[in-house]
Amino acid sequence: MQPSASQTGSSSNKPADYVYFERTSAGFSDDAVPRAKTAQLKLEHYYKVAVDAAIERNTRRVELERRLQGDVLMSEERKQRQLNQLGKKESTFLRLRRTKLGLDDFRTVKVIGKGAFGEVRLVQKTDTGKIYAMKTLKKEEMLKKDQLAHVRAERDVLAESNSAWVVQLFYSFQDPQFLYLIMEFLPGGDLMTMLIKYDTFSEDVTRFYIAECVLAIEAVHAMGFIHRDIKPDNILIDKDGHIKLSDFGLSTGFHKQHDSSYYQRLLDSANGVQSPTAAARNSVMVNAIHLTMTSKDQIATWKANRRKLAYSTVGTPDYIAPEIFIQKGYGNECDWWSLGAIMFECLVGYPPFCSESTHETYQKIVQWQNHLAFPDDVHLSREAEDLIRRLITSQDKRLGIDQIKVHPFFYGVDWDIIRRIDAPFVPHLRSITDTSYFPTDELEQVPEEASASEAGDAQKDLAFLGYTFKRFTISSHAF
């Protein structure tokens, strides 16, 4: 092999018999390069996970040692016992990490939700008997409808969170056809179901739920994420009546995997422009449910279709801030707009911009100054109306977290202990598998057991590399 000019120039430091090899893939078979790239990515991921796990393990040990060192009242014997317990816990977790979880490790109790891309089941882990909610997503649908960024964002937020305000993720795994998220089961249903049942809340009840939502959104922002999809369906109720945020498929943070053209498609479809890709989750790509808001009867029609809209790919833009549609830049203040729209619905009975069609809703949100109005037959306190107007307003004038907490509407709220006080509504549960707060009778017939899938496309699996997760501390959130 003849050396190149550049090689000749640098060969003065090399022995006379030094041989140069040109790096080229010429002559390889068509699938050799993709397979080599696949192997490279898998190896890089394997060692990254191993190194990250070792760093996390060391961090936990150092934190415990530091904490014990600062406790002068604890005996040395007890300190050593705690260190030994951590060591045993780490060993157990290492064994858990090496154990491959699959569908056979869970038994379906009941299907409690069904959406455009999968379903949610109440399941029991066969070896421990603990109860979880299992979210199942079809890989093919995720790829076909450009949902990779969304599903990765949700997994990452849940995996990184240890907050009491965010639904806890215990495991995530996959097989050739499906992705699985094993999360804590929150038996109280969601805020949408409560609004459908009760129509409106009193200001005291609204104050409680909105205050908890403020703290939940603050927790998400503190993690470096923006939720972007705050709405009543994504606010879940736990066994004590307190709220937790879920469904982080549209959240965005400092992760390149979370980038998506979702809102451009939403905007295109609202304007009747057919996007090159199929409808994304919660996009307003039509079969819009046509409504008109000229009377109470017609508002009731919107309410009757509310749940169908939530379960479909049509989705609802009712709670999305205008700057997201306009796409001229936005920050975490867009979540506070959504909270203002939810507060309006809690007190009035429907969102502030609901309309005949998703296109009209979009137009009203963008031109919110001309359309935000409080009905004459609903009497709100000055504080409640003022807070809504300070949340549903332009970006530069919208209240931030510190201003929200001191707003007169929240007078008397103790932000530090609100999660420990009695909630206005506590689910009455007959058992740990009670699903009476979920509208399971509205679900279409689905198999009682999730079906295991056969071998799939290796390239498709590569797109979901790194999705698998196991939480170190298996907390008491699982029943």
Q: What distance in Å separates the CA atoms of residue 399 and residue 328, rounded to the nearest whole number?
A: 19
pLDDT, average across residues 458-463: 51
Phi (first) and psi of residue 354, to 5 degrees: -65, 145
Does 255 score more than 60 pLDDT?
no
Does 266 score more than 60 pLDDT?
no
Q: What distance in Å separates the CA atoms of residue 353 and residue 371, rounded to the nearest whole number?
A: 7
Owner of token pair 């002068």: 72
pLDDT of residue 305: 61
pLDDT of residue 279: 35
How is residue 306 written in tokens? 């509310």
H or E, element range at 118 = strand 118-125
Owner of token pair 């190194």: 51
220 against 390, higher pLDDT = 390
Does 203 score more than 90 pLDDT?
yes
Which range has highest mean pLDDT (8-12, 241-245, 263-267, 306-310)? 241-245
Does 312 score more than 50 pLDDT?
no
Across all residues in the chain, what is the average pLDDT? 76
pLDDT, average across residues 48-55: 76
pLDDT of residue 254: 36
pLDDT of residue 13: 72
pLDDT, average across residues 126-150: 77
Tell me the chain's radius of gyration from C-alpha atoms.
26
Does 210 score more than 50 pLDDT?
yes
Contact 458, 110 (CB under 8 A): no
pLDDT, average across residues 122-130: 90
Q: Please, what is the angle between helix 262-270 and helix 358-366, to 10°?
A: 110
pTM metric for this prediction: 0.69
Contact 168, 183 (CB under 8 A): yes
CA angle 275, 113, 250 (to 5 degrees): 40
Does 260 score more than 90 pLDDT?
no
Phi (first) and psi of residue 472, to 5 degrees: -65, -55
Residue ranges at the known binding site: 135
473 against 320, higher pLDDT = 320
* Residues 133-143: b if buried by 16+ CB within 10 A, e if exposed: bbbbbbbebbe
pLDDT confidence band for 149 (50 / 70 / 90): low
Which residues have C-beta within 8 Å of that of residue 263, sequence separation ≥ 6? 324, 325, 327
Contact 269, 284 (CB under 8 A): yes
- What are the tens digits of pLDDT across the range 403-426? 999 999 999 999 999 999 999 999
Torsion from C-alpha of 284, 286, 289, 292, nearest 10 degrees: 80
Q: What distance in Å separates the CA atoms of residue 81 and residue 178, rounded to the nearest whole number?
A: 42
On the 0-12 / 13-18 / 19+ scale of CB atoms within 10 A, 74 is: middle
Phi (first) and psi of residue 400, to 5 degrees: -100, 180
pLDDT, average across residues 454-479: 52
In 3-state terms the chain splits into helix, strand, coil percentages (rounded to 5) of 45, 10, 45
Cα of first residue to Cα of last residue in the chain, in angstroms, is 68
pLDDT of residue 354: 85
Which range has highest mean pLDDT (12-26, 52-66, 179-193, 291-305)? 179-193
Catalytic residue among 146, 229, 238, 335: 229
Q: Which of 243, 235, 168 is nearest to 474 (CA)?
A: 168
pLDDT of residue 390: 96
Does 227 score more than 60 pLDDT?
yes
Residue ranges at the known binding site for ATP: 135
Q: Which of 241, 304, 244, 206 is nearest to 437 (CA)?
A: 241
- What are the tens digits of pLDDT across the range 328-376? 778 889 999 999 999 999 999 999 998 877 888 888 999 999 999 999 8
335 against 29, higher pLDDT = 335
Longest C-alpha distance within the chain, in Å?
95
How is residue 448 written in tokens? 């009682």
pLDDT confidence band for 282 (50 / 70 / 90): very low
Active site includes 240?
no
